[in-house]
Structure 1
């Protein structure tokens, strides 16, 4: 860092014994806790030196610190073919940074992660086991007299839900996860200094604070960061262009950078991989200025086709088992599953995402150059809380509308109200109409009585309101919410179509195929 922002200076200068750092992806939370760790160790070392100067017979030990990474490994991909545990790249890079710091500062820094904590506590590796045993593990470690304990990525993959209040979406934890992740257990331990960096999943953007229920009001001092350091401005804008507003309150301080490229296509066809490799390697291996990139992939990625096209580019291939060789190489491609690279950043990223939802926040792994490929007919349905789901699809594709049609049919929804905002053009409206037989285009109701008349006049189908604004939708939703009618809101971002469904869930309907809302 060449400079620190004012909120960072305040955090680094303060000696509060209990501190929580929170903020969005790319705000420098890990960088901050590492610097806090360094400064604390120096302060302890200076204190020890002063004690020795005052009394030459006093013998003091080297200052000690403990760093715990809470990055949850994917249980599905956490072991290789031989059963050996695959450490996340984030943990590997943190180990290197801590070893260098320990050598430079002349101190002891111990590193633990989810896998090692579960192993030492004799429990199976899982998110719930890790968090339930973490306070007990730290209590046992206190005998080593650490000057500071730093916990990073706390709350990674926490299954948060959302609720709509006053026109805004707020995150919350269900009672079980609120109990599991409560920080008051850690705050009560007799530690000299405890610093916890929260995963963005536990950060509430509406308040710029941790989500409610994590700890008592005054048990931790909170430092909220809102300056973006990781991603160039064009990648931040790409994230917003998919339709996410999480970073709207953050301030990018980087250069504009290279405009990201989004490539829709079919992952079983060579042309997608040819086009993607052409874009990511354009001038890269001729100028030799930045001749390495990371290729991140998910389930729908076709490895054999990609390797065929990569060999034509004469690009050396590296995988996670030879990560160090990739880091030392002057050129090449690191091919890695997304689950292994979470929490890290890479200068140049080629990302084969399963759908446009995954192509959003996961693309923030790229700091400078980004090329994203998405299956053109892919759709993701996300459970955002009780009675609320959102359908994500690529703009220009009929697939999200077909998914909506299938949901209505499967759940036997006979009558709905659907609002389209100003971004929904006439061409997309026609695409929507092709998927539904019974549509009733209505003028926006001026009163509850008028809405009631419109609902009574429609025996079956969808009442449509076009070109609606936010005030109209909120008012209409407040009226619909008092009935059993499903309310649907449809809008477009630059790259995606978003369809939000509000309807009280029926006990007979299983929704196991819908995942919890999670920004990992």
Structure 2
């Protein structure tokens, strides 16, 4: 059955009985296979883990800085992939994404005049959009591609420069327009305020005047506020009423427009639920740290953990930062902040000591620097994340954690954070006395949680209680998943008595149990004296009395993780 093409699964094709549960299982098995293979290989310390991860994620031929478009020619864009054709293909390849997402296949192969594609960062929206576009160009159809990204400080987005070249390779049947170019043609001046409204106010009229039949829009609705949703629906409604046009629109992940109202306007919605062009480690790390409410599923390669560096006032801060990046890659993108605390001279001096050439993309006229960086084998592109929206890169260095979301650059396999706001607080692991382990560090640092799991494995901890105070306990759960270990049962948020905890222990005789501190605060002495299993206490404050109360019960093993 799996050798049948996805074309057979579409509504107009032959009908086959398909067990959806089975297909779901196969999807997870596929993702697990990628993750476990990569995890196993990385544990053997290959010579180039970044390239190995990149090959399994997006393909080894993919540019170090791109726009989510496949570099491999692959099969014809009009060909539906078969299961047998997936062997050796990256998880985030066009063939893999189309095969494992029926919605995407329907979007690509059905001739709907009004299409919306929706998904999170790294779900493959631009890849599928480009595949649809290529299939039309191959049929000699005339196409227009519109980027809805507006410039930051009048500097054209990097996405625009790269995408323009990719489209030019497809021939003369396609024209590219930028948001700024459309405003210019429509006589609209982009001021310092309401720039998005200025662009979207003329977009539908511009499309109506185009001679081409097929119109593609990418990154639609990126920066409009929630209060502007009705204005955006007015734009989509106007466009839906334009006769003689086929509209294919990719929504930006931040666009929170009401999808049900788009359906009412006549659009077919293709929602991509699987993250396939971000590594699981980076995507889950960002989701935990940023508090993202995304309901997407990570179905991708595991990848390397992000590296977290603090201590910006230390003399060796920039040296440590550059060294960490260059350990695995000597060609990378760097986001710098608009802040005085960042020392541009020190950073560039450290790059120079290691022979790393710098290329800046910070102002109008820096396009030549970008082109040179793209052609180079080594180097650092210094830019701001506002200029890099909509792109993906292999290795990324970010100064100032709160200045961006790592998901903004998909396809990243090596991510380094240099936090300008935190004092140096290196991870330390101590055992002040038998049966008591103290782990300290920064709550955003993945090494804190890998150290905790290391100790759990060393002490052969299989059944345990976790008491936590803050939300970043999710990073501990991510580390357990990375190691292929079961995650603890999370007891619902409530106040519990000794009797309740006794019942929980009887019901869960293997693995861990998790409680929020406030829900069992009155039971800490009892837990320390009577649980008879290791206790892990994770907090970002100095709860000395809590620790004392638990330890007075002389638990079999007490591990405290105290983070800033």
* 8 A Cα contact 1:351 1:363, kept in partner: no
Q: Which residue of 2 aligns with 1:149?
A: 215
- Tell me, in whole angstroms, the C-alpha distance in 2 between the residues paired with 1:8 and 1:244: 28
Instruction: Give per-residue Cα distances to partners, 1:422-460, cap 9 Å, x unaligned.
Output: 6317xx9xxxxxxxxxxxxxx9699xxxxxxxxxxxxxx
* 8 A Cα contact 2:308 2:444, kept in partner: no
Establish whether residue 67 from structure 1 lines up as the match of residue 145 from structure 2.
yes
Q: 1:264 Cα deviation (Å)?
A: 2.5
Instruction: Answer 1 or 2: which has greater strand percent.
Output: 1
Matches within 5 A, 1:202-281: 202-203=255-256, 211=258, 215=262, 217-253=264-300, 255-266=301-312, 269-281=314-326
Pair 1:313–1:270, CA change in 2 (3 A):
farther
Q: Which residue of 1 aligns with 2:335?
A: 296
Q: 1:98 Cα deviation (Å)?
A: 0.6
TM-score by length of 2: 0.55
For the aligned residue pairs, the C-alpha RMSD in angstroms reads 3.1
Q: Which residue of 2 aligns with 1:2?
A: 95
Q: 1:10 Cα deviation (Å)?
A: 1.4
Q: Which residue of 2 aligns with 1:467?
A: 518
Instruction: Give per-residue Cα distances to partners, 1:398-437, cap 9 Å, x unaligned.
Output: xxxxxxxxxxxxxxxxxxxxxxx96317xx9xxxxxxxxx
Pair 1:190–1:365, CA change in 2 (3 A):
same
- Tell me, in whole angstroms, the C-alpha distance in 2 between the residues paired with 1:277 and 1:214: 48
* 8 A Cα contact 1:40 1:147, kept in partner: no
Q: Which residue of 1 aligns with 2:508?
A: none
Q: 1:211 Cα deviation (Å)?
A: 2.9
* 8 A Cα contact 2:179 2:199, kept in partner: yes
- Tell me, in whole angstroms, the C-alpha distance in 1 between the residues paired with 2:247 and 2:347: 46
Residue of 370, 375, 398 corresponding to 2:420: 375
- Tell me, in whole angstroms, the C-alpha distance in 2 between the residues paired with 1:13 and 1:251: 25
* 8 A Cα contact 1:317 1:334, kept in partner: yes
Q: 1:256 Cα deviation (Å)?
A: 1.7
SS state of the match for residue 131, structure 1? helix
Q: Which residue of 2 aligns with 1:82?
A: none
- Tell me, in whole angstroms, the C-alpha distance in 2 between the residues paired with 1:184 and 1:123: 21
Pair 1:376–1:363, CA change in 2 (3 A):
farther
Residue of 170, 173, 176 corresponding to 1:108: 173
Structure 2: gaps spanning 5 or more residues: 1-93, 424-441, 446-465, 474-493, 498-515, 521-537, 542-564
Establish whether residue 311 from structure 1 lines up as the match of residue 358 from structure 2.
no
- Tell me, in whole angstroms, the C-alpha distance in 1 between the residues paired with 2:203 and 2:268: 21
Q: Which residue of 2 aligns with 1:16?
A: 112
Matches within 5 A, 1:43-54: 43=139, 45=140
- Tell me, in whole angstroms, the C-alpha distance in 1 between the residues paired with 2:299 and 2:149: 25
SS state of the match for residue 367, structure 1? coil
Instruction: Give per-residue Cα distances to partners, 1:268-323, cap 9 Å, x unaligned.
Output: 55432211111100153xxxxxx311111122332122112211111111122211
- Tell me, in whole angstroms, the C-alpha distance in 2 between the residues paired with 1:323 and 1:122: 29
Residue of 391, 398, 403 corresponding to 1:344: 391
SS state of the match for residue 397, structure 2? strand
Report how many residues are paired.
337
Structure 1: gaps spanning 5 or more residues: 46-62, 79-85, 160-172, 204-209, 285-290, 379-393, 398-420, 429-442, 447-464, 470-493, 498-520
Matches within 5 A, 1:154-233: 154-159=220-225, 173-174=226-227, 176-182=228-234, 183-203=236-256, 211=258, 215=262, 217-233=264-280
Residue of 160, 165, 170 corresponding to 1:96: 165
